[in-house]
Chain A
Amino acid sequence: MAINSYKQDEMVNDVSKIKTLSRLFSYLLAHRFSILVVLLIMAYCVAVSLINPLIIESAIDDHISVGDYRGLYKLIGIALILNGVMIVLVKARMYIMAKVCNKVLVTIRQQLYTHIQTLDFNFFDSRPTGKILARIIGDINSLKDVLSNSVKTLIPDFITICAVVGIMFVKNAYLAAAALISLPLMIVGVWFIQVRSHKCWQIYRKKSSNLNAFIHEDLSGIRIIQSFTAENETKETFYTLVHEHRQSFMDAVKYADAFGSVVDFCWGLGNVSLWFAGITILGVDKVSVGTLIAFGTYISMFWKPIMNLSSFYNQLITNISGAERIFEILDTKPEIKDSIGVGEMPEIVGTVDFQHVGFSYDENTKVLTDVSFHIRPGETIALVGPTGAGKTTIVNLISRFYDIQEGNIMIDGKDIRSVSIESLRKQMGIMTQDNFLFTGTIRENIAYGKLDATEEEIIAAAKAVHAHDFITKLPNGYDTRLEERGGGLSVGQKQLLAFARTMVSMPKILILDEATSSIDTKTELLVQEGIAALLKGRTSFVIAHRLSTIQKADRIFVIDNGGIIEEGNAEELLAKKGAYYKLYTAQQM
């Protein structure tokens, strides 16, 4: 598994733009009624803006020129009503459209977030958090304008262009052709720019994501940075990333800003060719002045929506790379998921079996080879061994954080892949090496283990792990608010809270992965006593290095070289004078 860092650009799969676009706009389909209303309103607005010049014309020709006050007032009255209605409708249109767009954004964001929750550790481990965040927040926000402009610009302007071109050809095909002669040039130009700028915008998004990732890491590690006085180094890295970000933007606008220029140039060319064709080739006498003037008007009517469309297209190209990145995550399939038609895990009794389990995180290095063991309900198993030997991997496999490549893992005789992940994990209490506490009160953090835990249950759990004492000493007791990652508490206290959180869920199988490594020995003993009563008869796995933590286990597995090299209780293993004996004596020195 290649790990991406803030320095590297992400790989984004190339998907055809049409596909991305149609997928994006398919979200609008859910609101087709609202959009229909918006389009109807727009039709009215277009009609009124077409009538407005007629009113002015009639006012001048029919009323002002003949001195007809009453007619003038009447006409202006009509105009006022037409425009008044339009204002009300425009207000409605804008509101509906804003609602639709924001709804679509909320939907996409929620969908993305929900999908991310289903993904497995491989996904999270292989990229910095800041890059995932960039997609949930920044990339989605970038779609806002595209969505609202699509309805506002795309459809009406497209219709206008077709109508104008139609009228021009009906009136005088020759002139129309002359006026539109620069159109192919424009299309080629815009196409060229679009291809280049799209690539640049993709890079820009990646750079933006890199920047986000670095900001995230820098802030998360700010204490270590300040402690190592590495501020100048991170500053340099940051400056480089900011520079790359800005440079990628400038590279993109170098092309994107030319959109307008191409259109302007073609407009000029089209105009010249129209007048030239009309006057020189056809001759003034062949084409009526009126037609020429009308064509002049049409040509400006034609270019305006073209300009709008091209700027919309520009915007689309700018932001479509955001959509690509969102859809890419949505298309990432979780590797660990419930297979179709899985059942619920019944209440766990506590038998755990590994049958010839083989596992590797990536294809190259095998972490476990042919591991087999049988654990009876209620047994406490300690896993010891050198760091990186695969202890954590074994417990991760029991909770199905990863899927094995060979063999079977059974709980109570049921293959863990044959039951739903949720029903499995809900019955397990897993304390990982990094105990993450959430912002919120201590009570909320403990109740995370059991959302409907009563006050008594919470306090009982806290007492069992010996956290009650320090909690009650805090200024607000159980209502003390923890900052990010449990800030304000010592690492040992955080471990105790995380322990309480696990205990409140009353797990059927308990997994403690270095759960008490930062707790002093005295407290640790108290914790062990405290949870003994609660966990009576439940299977538990303990990974620890401190002998005092593991000596009481029913069986000790010594893990090394991808498998169990020794097993037995503490006395048996000491008597063996093997690997365990060596570990044991090391600590006595």
Chain B
Amino acid sequence: MRKKLSTYIWEYKWYYLFAIVSLIISVSLDMLAPMLTMHIIDDVILGGKVALLPYLLGGILIVGVGRCVFQYTKEYTFDKVGSSIASDMRKNLFNHIQSLSSCFFDKTNTGELMARVKDDIDRVWNTLSYVSMLIIEVIFHTSVVLFCMYRLHASLALVPTAAMIISAFIAVRMEKYLGAIYEDISEENAILNTVAEENLAGVRTVKAFAREKFEIKKFLSHNQRYYELNLKQSKVFVRYYPYFQIITKLLPMLVLLIGGRLVIENVITLGVLGAFLEYANNIVWPMEMLGWLSNDFSAGIASNKKLTKIYEQKPVITEVENPILLDTVKGKIEFSHVSFHKEDLHEILHDITFEAAAGSTIGIMGATGAGKTSVVQLLQRLYDATDGTIYLDGVDIRQLSLKQLRSSISLVMQDVFLFSDTINENVKLGKKAYTNEAIVRKASQDAQASSFIEKMPNEYETIIGERGVGLSGGQKQRISIARAFAKQTPILIMDDSTSALDMETEHEIQKILRTLPNTTKLIIAHRISAVRHADEILVLENGTIAERGTHDTLLAKKGLYYKTYVSQYGDPTTVVQE
């Protein structure tokens, strides 16, 4: 998906052309103005041709109006092009990031990615609109002035030409040095964003431990480093900038010196020298500007490099060339000798084999870190198994369309994530186009969420905070369950998703689950009550299946499951009867 900067620019070539034409007209008008003034003085005042005056004054007015118009079209068009390209780049980058796999997000901080999508693209934007406009203006302006100088006197014009070349050379050199620093600045900007992001996201923990001072100090060290890098940038800039100044100050003097000799030797007239000096003065500001532009330019290039780095990341989980698209997904799941480890080679799952018939319920229990969640992640292809095969309806999931695979499974995650949006939109997530009001209400009722939602001032249109702040843990879980119910998919996974619910509510949800005969259910839980009705219960230990069977057979086994039961309910012989 990565497009080169030049490709983006090329797509807007006509706009750029229009902008450049406007620029040329406005610069030309700018150069016309002194000539009109000259005519007024020479012809009208000194020459007495008063009749010419209205025309000349009209000319000045036209120049003013013309500049007014073309200056505007120039700036507006550059702004338009710049913002259009920036928008395109942002969209592409966003799509690319969204296409990346879980292992990328495991390693990359949110704050950093935010800085890329926002700040770095802003800098490239600045380069493409404002900076490139001025660079083109400088080039055009200088060319015209140099052309005039050559027409006046070719060898004398060599002096400003040389000055120009040297300036350009210094600008390129400076860009190289500054580029490296700007890369560091962009990196530190990302870190600053990351530190602040983490602090804000973890504000409850910070406050609970009264660690505000510690956090402030942590931020200060990065803030300080950001300052130092910016200062370093200024240092480099200040080191090079005087060269531009020397050249611009020296140029008129040199012209004067050499031109003066030429006048004395009667090679050129005094008038020519005067005109030359005026041109030399006219060429000075673009050269000084070159320093600033090269500075801004290198910031944009550095940011673009950072963007390129993200594009170098490729999604690890991809579809095969011609993925299989099932007509209907029935929901039969099969794990065959599945093992899984991440980059650190620490094995998370080992030789897992089980089968869930369509419509059946599988319960998964196990100690913390036993690999329960990994089973779910593999099924959804958030990661790929390192060994063995997983089948959905008898087809290897790696052969299936990724979209179909994931959209036939609805997952209630352990770590509830809700968006700062209305409850309605949150429940609809993933199938916004097909989910109507009735489905949202039904799903919320089934998830035992409708009672508290309907007490809220705006009911389903109530906006909840990011990650559901403002809601209790149980309320968040119920919305997230409603979100999964609303999808009505053939497979439903509940990853420890009733832990924050009171027992009555949980019980109600269990009842609803039993009314879904066509949905294959994978239920991960710590509470016996959540899995006891499953067709098969798997007890994981250290990444392997340690025990399996129904509630009754497992109890009879008197193993891990039995122990869990005892610790939750006491001895089964004394249990309160259903």
Contacts and interface: CB of A to CB of B under 8 A. Distances in A.
Interface string A110-121: 100110111001
Contact of B472 (A98, A218, A392, A401): A392
A225 interface: yes
Contacts of A220: 110, 201, 417, 466-467
Contacts of A485: 201
A3 B419 CA distance: 12
Question: By CB atoms of chain B within 10 A, which of A231, A268, A269, A284 has the most?
Answer: A268
Contact of A521 (B44, B71, B382, B568): B568
Question: By CB atoms of chain A within 10 A, which of B194, B253, B410, B529 has the most?
Answer: B253
A518 B406 contact: no
B94 A125 contact: no
A425 B203 contact: no
Interface stretch (B240-248, B354-362, B550-558): B240-248
A103 B87 contact: no
Main secondary structure of the interface of A (DSSP, over half): helix
Contact of B256 (A56, A421, A588): A56
Contacts of B470: 1, 3, 125, 361
Interface string B458-486: 00000111110111111101100001000
A180 to B, nearest CB: 15
Contacts of A284: 44-45, 48, 50
Interface string A251-294: 00110011011101111110110011001100010000100110
Main secondary structure of the interface of B (DSSP, over half): helix
A182 to B, nearest CB: 9
A69 interface: yes
A467 to B, nearest CB: 9
Contact of A212 (B105, B118, B237, B342): B118
B496 A518 contact: yes
Task: Name the 3 nearest CB pairs between A and B, nearest first.
Answer: A268-B64, A387-B474, A492-B368
Contacts of A117: 199, 206, 212, 215-216
A133 B200 contact: yes
Nearest to A486: B415
Contacts of A421: 210
B326 interface: no
Contacts of B117: 215
B114 A91 contact: no
A265 B68 CA distance: 6
Contacts of A401: 207
B9 interface: no
Interface stretch (B76-84, B135-143, B176-184, B328-336): B76-84
Contacts of B322: none
8 contacts: A65-B270, A94-B234, A213-B420, A250-B80, A292-B45, A439-B198, A521-B568, A586-B504
A271 B29 CA distance: 15
Interface stretch (B149-157, B162-170, B223-231, B392-400): B223-231
Given A125-B469, A218-B94, 6 more contacts: A7-B421, A217-B419, A228-B410, A233-B429, A267-B64, A384-B502
Given A387-B475, A523-B367, A436 B202 contact: yes
Contacts of A361: 470
B187 to A, nearest CB: 14
A576 interface: no
A275 B44 CA distance: 10
Question: By CB atoms of chain B within 10 A, which of A137, A208, A426 has the most?
Answer: A137
A385 B502 contact: yes
B422 to A, nearest CB: 8
Interface stretch (B257-265, B303-311, B436-444, B515-523): B257-265
Given A276-B57, A384-B502, A388-B452, A138 B118 contact: yes
B197 A129 contact: yes
B333 to A, nearest CB: 16
Interface in A71-120: 72-73, 76, 79-80, 83, 86-88, 90-91, 94-95, 98-99, 102-103, 105-106, 109-110, 113-114, 116-118
A545 B502 contact: yes
B79 A257 contact: yes
Interface stretch (A21-29, A36-44, A238-246, A351-359): A238-246
A453 B389 CA distance: 47
Contacts of B256: 56, 59-60, 64, 72, 76
Contacts of A475: 344, 346
B503 A583 contact: yes
Contacts of B465: 3, 125-126, 128
A85 B366 CA distance: 78
Contacts of A13: none
Contact of B37 (A222, A296, A583): A296
Interface in B34-48: 37, 40-41, 44-46, 48
A132 B200 contact: yes
Nearest to A61: B270
B367 A522 contact: yes
B33 to A, nearest CB: 8
B349 interface: no
Given A514-B500, A519-B526, A217 B474 contact: no
A364 B457 contact: yes
B71 to A, nearest CB: 5
Contacts of B199: 117
B564 interface: yes
A458 B220 CA distance: 27
Nearest to B533: A589
Interface in A373-425: 384-388, 391-392, 399, 401, 421-422, 425
Contact of A490 (B249, B373, B472): B373
Question: By CB atoms of chain B within 10 A, which of A80, A224, A238 has the most?
Answer: A224
Nearest to B527: A546
A372 interface: no
A399 to B, nearest CB: 7
A547 interface: yes
Contact of B198 (A280, A484, A491): A484
B207 to A, nearest CB: 7
B458 to A, nearest CB: 10
Given A3-B464, A475-B346, A523-B367, A98 B72 contact: no
Contact of B98 (A76, A91, A225, A271): A225
B282 interface: no
Given A102-B231, A221-B417, A438-B198, A589 B204 contact: no
Nearest to B200: A129
Contact of A545 (B33, B80, B501): B501
